[in-house]
Homo-oligomer: A and B are copies of this chain.
Amino acid sequence: MAGYGYRLGVMGATGAVGTTILALLHERGFPAREVVAYASERSAGKELEWGEQTLIVQPLNAETIQGVDVVLSSPGGAVSSEWSPRFVEAGATVVDNTSFWRMYEDVPLVVAGVNDEAAEAHKGIVANPNCTTMVMMMALAPIHRAVGLERFVMSSYQAVSGTGQKAIEELRAQAKAILAGDQPPAPAVYPHQIAFNVMPQVESFKDGDDYTTEERKVMAETRKILGVGEEVGISATCARVPVFVGHSESINLQTREDLSPEDCRTLLDGAVGVQVLDDPAAGGYPTSIQTAGQDEVFVGRIRRDPSQDRTLNLWLSGDNLRKGAATNAVQVAEILVDRGWLLNQR
């Protein structure tokens, strides 16, 4: 490795997650001697502020991708499917935030703080889980390790920034028009109006499936991260709500051994990256916006479900752009660097 740090690439640098990654790299003092911001041809040449520096956005091509140590990748899945392997061929290790690589057998799916060790086996690409799964894993993995998960039912309340910048603009434009008493602009990003509405669809319905791709991800990725099969029952319903940042989730979970609400609070209070906020009568519980800009996941409303043995209800909220995406990608890059697990450290 040259000099005092790494040459770092950020793919999708102008997007909602990409800009958060850039902010975090600076904030956390990632040991980067140089950052290369990549985006589509359309954005190439744009200038991005990064700390004291100005980055000129680069297009992706055979020349620009050379000489990079680590890539934090957050473009669309199609772009990642093509360019992540090219970066790996050129010697880089890629931490990818798209859905494309997550379920490949030789691609570790890593939640920093939950299954860091899994990262070691990578062959060039480490995948970042979906934001809904990520936020959930922070609370559920410690519970699974302590008492075993038997089955859980999750309903989500997901922010539009999970979709990207255009969805943020769509919510903003529709809400403005409605509050002014005007006809809102027709939905373009989403199939229905999102302002002042709730929609039980996140992502798409593939090949006539009755679950969305998002719901399937929650089920499949959870099992991969926890290293379990069908013996852990999972049911997911994902809904989009008119919130800019912050995913929330209502979870009903049955454990194999009994876990009291008190013990659950103690367990999660001691877990990495989790904060228990559970004094409901005083308004102490997680809300979506309160997590904005926070790297931790917040858990509250922990209580017994009187209708079933060994069952708790809980509520959690996390910043979908931070721990749900950018923070985890940077944390995984930090793990790779610290442990000497980069391709070009081997």
B233 touches A307 (CB 8 A): yes
Question: In which size bucket is the chain A interface?
Answer: 35 or more
* A residues neighboring B (CB under 8 Å): 151, 153, 155, 157, 172, 175-176, 179, 191-193, 196-201, 204-205, 208, 210-212, 233-235, 237, 239, 241-244, 246, 248, 250, 252, 261, 280-281, 283, 285-290, 300-301, 303-308, 311, 313, 315, 317
Chain B residues with CB under 8 Å of A287's CB are: 192-193, 197-200
Number of copies: 2
Given contacts A196-B244, A241-B157, contact A313 B280 (CB under 8 A): no
Query: Nearest residue in B to A191 (C-beta to C-beta)?
Result: B283
User: What is the distance, in angstroms, from A287's C-beta to the closest C-beta of chain B?
Assistant: 5
Chain B residues with CB under 8 Å of A281's CB are: 204-205, 208
B283 touches A196 (CB 8 A): no
B157 touches A300 (CB 8 A): no
Query: Nearest residue in B to A317 (C-beta to C-beta)?
Result: B198
How distant is the Cα of A155 from the Cα of B176 in the complex, in angstroms?
A: 29
User: What is the distance, in angstroms, from A196's C-beta to the closest C-beta of chain B?
Assistant: 5
A283 touches B192 (CB 8 A): yes
User: What is the distance, in angstroms, from A167's C-beta to the closest C-beta of chain B?
Assistant: 13
A201 touches B289 (CB 8 A): no
Chain B residues with CB under 8 Å of A211's CB are: 303
B197 touches A243 (CB 8 A): yes
B233 touches A250 (CB 8 A): no
Chain B residues with CB under 8 Å of A305's CB are: 153, 235
A313 touches B241 (CB 8 A): no
Query: Nearest residue in B to A179 (C-beta to C-beta)?
Result: B176
Chain B residues with CB under 8 Å of A191's CB are: 283
How distant is the Cα of A301 from the Cα of B306 in the complex, in angstroms?
A: 27
| A-B contact sample (9 more), CB < 8 A, given A172-B179, A198-B288, A237-B250 | A151-B307, A153-B153, A192-B290, A196-B243, A204-B281, A210-B304, A235-B306, A235-B313, A252-B252
